[in-house]
């Protein structure tokens, strides 16, 4: 179909999928008399813990058994950036430490480490990404070579929802164990806990950035494990454009350690996220319980019950939302295969992605031609995006185009197509037609 014949549609990039279910639950929370961190946030934390452990969203986390089993496992916060920063702070990341971050990610991954005073060391991605999934995954040989006595954490990023090769990453950090020296306690509660955590882990920690990958899994040697139950620490994002949203929001989780009670770790997250205050607002409402102490001059990044209400209903709908994303991806896959465009493989070789982003790479085009495609698609009403301009190319990270050749090569012909659950089948067909027309124009030099 030519541009002349097509009726123009407006295709937004990633609008939130909010129904009356979420709206009514938010209204109930607003009317309940408790709007900040409280019962809805705690319930969402337990339900997320159950989901991460089982892949199921229907486990009853309000009965005694559910409460006991899934408490103190997940902490809901106001963003993934805060979640990652608290993960690193609990781990004791500080000045003098090195944290390895892929060059191909969003700024939050690196910024959280910088906020803690650490030095970020960028690792390039594999040339053209992972050979099977095509995801822009870090170069693991380079990762191995970069680990020094100063390295305290590596932050793999599950870009687009595709789970990184955590078996390989674990193998590398275990191999480099001899270089690792755990920090010592300075005698205060936070460094005391961090020191015990570092001693229990006993190697460079794997602190996963799963901002895109809630619900994604990896099956290895017959065992399926969901994001959140793979790395030592994990952060998730519930930002407005994510598969699962609370408008703004995020969560932290970690793998339980034999040496340390989960409730102690959970309590430290609460303290770090609420000014180091040893009683939260709910605890202070108990009769005569006004008095509190401040353990440390810490941060303010707790989740409110108003937004947790959105999350509870999004979780009820999440399996269906993931399925719809797969349907859309299948249509895009067919079109891209026909047009000779490379795309990510979200469901291959034991990897089950959360289907967050649809990245395509058009062979043989320059960065300028890529930008022209984006503009021409926008003229036809189709919003696209680029995930990501490699971080080292950004001003804050040194504005260096040449040091990370694979990341740059991956980015220059990359376009992210709109993938969200408000797209109708007709919208998806329209995006495919516009892509084919625009590509034809570019390939013919029009
Ligand atoms: C890879 C990655 N990490 C971290 C974040 C930060 O998420 P948030 O906005 O919830 O802080 C994002 C947000 O887009 C992201 O894409």
Alpha-helical runs (H) found in 91-184: 107-115, 140-146, 166-175
State which ligand 1 atom lies nearest to the alpha carbon of 105.
1
Q: Is the pTM of this model over 0.85?
A: yes
Judge whether 156 and 169 are in contact, CB under 8 Å.
yes
Q: Which residues fall within 8 angstroms of residue 250, CB to CB, at 6 or more apart?
A: 76, 77, 78, 79, 80, 81, 82, 83, 211, 235, 236, 237, 238, 239
- Report the alpha-carbon distance of residue 156 to residue 162 in Å, rounded: 11
Ligand 1 pocket: which of 13, 16, 80 to mutate (most atoms within 8 A of CB): 80
- What does the angle CA 62 – CA 68 – CA 73 come to, to the nearest 5 degrees? 95
Q: How far is it between the farthest Cα atoms of the chain?
A: 77
Say how many Å lie between the CA of residue 81 and the centre of ligand 1: 6
3-state secondary structure of 218: strand
- Report the alpha-carbon distance of residue 57 to residue 48 in Å, rounded: 8
**Helices first, then strands: H and E counts in the chain:** 14, 14
Nearest Cα neighbor of 387 from 349, 344, 340, 351 is 344
pLDDT at position 137, please? 98
- Report the alpha-carbon distance of residue 249 to residue 405 in Å, rounded: 33
Nearest Cα neighbor of 230 from 214, 246, 250, 251 is 214
Say how many Å lie between the CA of residue 104 and the centre of ligand 1: 13
State which ligand 1 atom lies nearest to the alpha carbon of 157.
1
Ligand 1 pocket: which of 210, 211, 407 to mutate (most atoms within 8 A of CB): 211
pLDDT at position 374, please? 98
State which ligand 1 atom lies nearest to the alpha carbon of 249.
10
Ligand 1 pocket: which of 103, 163, 216, 237 to mutate (most atoms within 8 A of CB): 237
Judge whether 100 and 151 are in contact, CB under 8 Å.
yes
Helix (H) or strand (E) holding 49: helix 39-54
Say how many Å lie between the CA of residue 330 and the centre of ligand 1: 26
How many other β-carbons are positioned within 10 Å of the β-carbon of residue 10?
10
State which ligand 1 atom lies nearest to the alpha carbon of 82.
11
- Report the alpha-carbon distance of residue 353 to residue 136 in Å, rounded: 14
75-111 burial, b if ≥16 CB within 10 A, otherwise e?
bbbbbbbbbbbbbbbbbbbeeebbbbbbbbbbebbbb
Say how many Å lie between the CA of residue 157 and the centre of ligand 1: 10
Say how many Å lie between the CA of residue 3 and the centre of ligand 1: 36
- Report the alpha-carbon distance of residue 274 to residue 276 in Å, rounded: 6
State which ligand 1 atom lies nearest to the alpha carbon of 241.
14
- Report the alpha-carbon distance of residue 120 to residue 114 in Å, rounded: 7
pLDDT tens, position by position, 58-84? 999 999 999 999 999 999 999 999 999
Question: Residue 363: exposed, middle, or buried by beta-carbon count in 10 A (0-12, 13-18, 19+)?
Answer: exposed
Bridge partners, residue 234, by sequence: 208, 253
Q: Which residues approach ligand 1 with their CB closer than 6 A?
A: 79-81, 105-106, 108-109, 157, 209, 211-212, 237, 239, 250
97's tokens: 């430490």
pLDDT per residue of the chain (446 residues) written in tens, 0 to 9 = 455 567 999 999 999 999 999 999 999 999 999 999 999 999 999 999 999 999 999 999 999 999 999 999 999 999 999 999 999 999 999 999 999 999 999 999 999 999 999 999 999 999 999 999 999 999 999 999 999 999 999 999 999 999 999 999 999 999 999 999 999 999 999 999 999 999 999 999 999 999 999 999 999 999 999 999 999 999 999 999 999 999 999 999 999 999 999 999 999 999 999 999 998 777 777 778 788 999 999 999 999 999 999 999 999 999 999 999 999 999 999 999 999 999 999 999 999 999 999 999 999 999 999 999 999 999 999 999 999 999 999 999 998 878 899 999 999 999 999 999 999 999 999 999 999 999 999 988 87
3-state secondary structure of 166: helix
Say how many Å lie between the CA of residue 189 and the centre of ligand 1: 29
């Amino acid at each position: 179909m030519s541009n002349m014949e097509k009726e123009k549609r407006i295709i937004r990039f990633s609008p939130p999928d909010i129904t009356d279910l979420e709206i009514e639950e938010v209204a109930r929370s607003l009317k309940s008399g408790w709007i900040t961190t409280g019962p809805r946030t705690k319930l969402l934390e337990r339900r997320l813990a159950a989901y991460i452990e089982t892949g199921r969203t229907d486990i009853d986390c309000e009965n005694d058994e559910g409460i006991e089993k899934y408490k103190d496992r997940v902490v809901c916060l106001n963003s993934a950036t805060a979640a990652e920063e608290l993960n690193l702070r609990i781990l004791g990341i500080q000045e003098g430490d090195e944290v390895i971050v892929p060059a191909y990610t969003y700024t939050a991954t690196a910024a959280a480490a910088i906020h803690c005073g650490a030095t970020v060391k960028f690792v390039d991605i594999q040339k053209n990404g992972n050979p099977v999934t095509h995801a822009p995954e870090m170069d693991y040989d380079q990762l191995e070579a970069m680990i020094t006595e100063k390295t305290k954490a590596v932050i793999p990023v599950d870009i687009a929802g595709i789970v990184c090769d955590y078996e390989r990453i674990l193998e590398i950090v275990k191999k480099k164990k001899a270089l690792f020296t755990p920090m010592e306690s300075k005698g205060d509660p936070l460094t005391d806990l961090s020191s015990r955590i570092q001693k229990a882990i006993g190697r460079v920690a794997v602190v996963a950035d799963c901002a895109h990958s809630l619900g994604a899994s990896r099956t290895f040697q017959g065992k399926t494990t969901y994001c959140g139950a793979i790395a030592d620490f994990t952060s998730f994002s519930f930002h407005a454009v994510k598969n699962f949203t609370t408008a703004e929001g995020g969560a932290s989780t970690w793998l339980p350690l034999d040496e340390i009670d989960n409730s102690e770790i959970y309590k430290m997250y609460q303290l770090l996220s609420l000014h180091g205050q040893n009683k939260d607002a709910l605890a202070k409402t108990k009769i005569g319980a006004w008095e509190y102490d401040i353990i440390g001059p810490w941060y303010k990044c707790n989740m409110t019950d108003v937004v947790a209400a959105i999350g509870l209903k999004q979780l009820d709908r999440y399996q269906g939302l993931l399925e719809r994303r797969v349907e859309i991806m299948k249509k895009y896959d067919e079109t891209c295969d026909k047009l000779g465009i490379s795309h990510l493989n979200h469901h291959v070789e034991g990897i089950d992605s959360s289907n967050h982003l649809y990245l395509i790479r058009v062979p043989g085009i320059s960065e300028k031609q890529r930008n022209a495609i984006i503009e021409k698609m926008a003229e036809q009403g189709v919003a696209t995006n680029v995930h990501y301009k490699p971080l080292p190319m950004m001003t804050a990270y040194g504005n260096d185009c040449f040091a990370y050749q694979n990341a740059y090569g991956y980015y220059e012909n990359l376009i992210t197509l709109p993938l969200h659950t408000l797209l109708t089948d007709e919208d998806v067909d329209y995006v495919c037609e516009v892509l084919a027309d625009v590509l034809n124009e570019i390939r013919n030099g029009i």
